[in-house]
Structure 1
Amino acid sequence: MKVNPNLSHRTLARQLAIQSLYQHEIAGTPWIELERQAMERPEFDKIDQNLYRNAVRYITAHRDELDAFYKPYLDRAFSLIDPIERSILRLGTWELTQTPEVPYRTVIDEAVELAKDFGAEESYKYINAVLDKVAEQVRQAEKAASNH
């Protein structure tokens, strides 16, 4: 991953987290090893390390719980969702459910950007639609307040 100095330390943490979560999805690499590998990368000093660690540790331990939030909104079988898109959906769902201090629109915007950077060509639209439904479920008050 090339570090773009124009990106925030939180955006960089999300990018690195997606790469780690993808590796976990494909190879089953445990979080402790993912974290060790991430710490060896030169850009690790430039990221929000707490966001990275909290996300990767929680998501690798609670994948099924996170998947349950967005599975009802999928338009295809779960097994047909690309592993990188599953990782982005999990990260977005984790942020929506576990980091209420981050506005839901920020969570969705960041997930859309991750999908543009790492996902299939039009996957960002799908990520946006699914996470918007999750936000309606878990951030009802915040969404209602922003729609007025």
Structure 2
Amino acid sequence: MIFVIMAIDQKHLSQEYTPLFLSVQQKNVEMWFSNEAKQWLVVLEKIKQENIILKNRLADAIKQDVSKDFIEYAEYFQQRFIEKDQIVDLLRHDINMMLSAGSHLHKSSDKSQLKKFASQMTDDIEKSRLEFEQLKISFNTYLSKP
């Protein structure tokens, strides 16, 4: 939705229109942040589900007759999978906290805190996603060894 305001002198802009304009800006920020948060949560849910699959594959592999070395590596991967679950849970918690606190942030004229959070969250989720992809590759490579 695009709003066009024709050249209106600020002095002549009545006070009754200003809250409406600010309300529209707030709604746009709320929609933008809500959409960003939904995308972040989808990425985190995908990581969580893939992590469950990897943990199940690890459990199946351990059921086989395995060496002591395999058990040590299995413990390493199990710990890494648990850490990934914790990171995902923390990121989801931060997103949900910001969504609930967001209504207060949207009302302030300074949106820099919200933008800073969004930028940091995007970076954190991307870093977590890349680390998880590397972990997944390492795990699959290890399982494929004879």
Q: TM-score, normalised by structure 2?
A: 0.24
Structure with the largest fraction of helix: 2
Higher relative contact order by CA 8 Å / sep ≥ 6: 1 or 2? 2
State which structure, 1 or 2, has the greater radius of gyration over its C-alpha atoms: 2
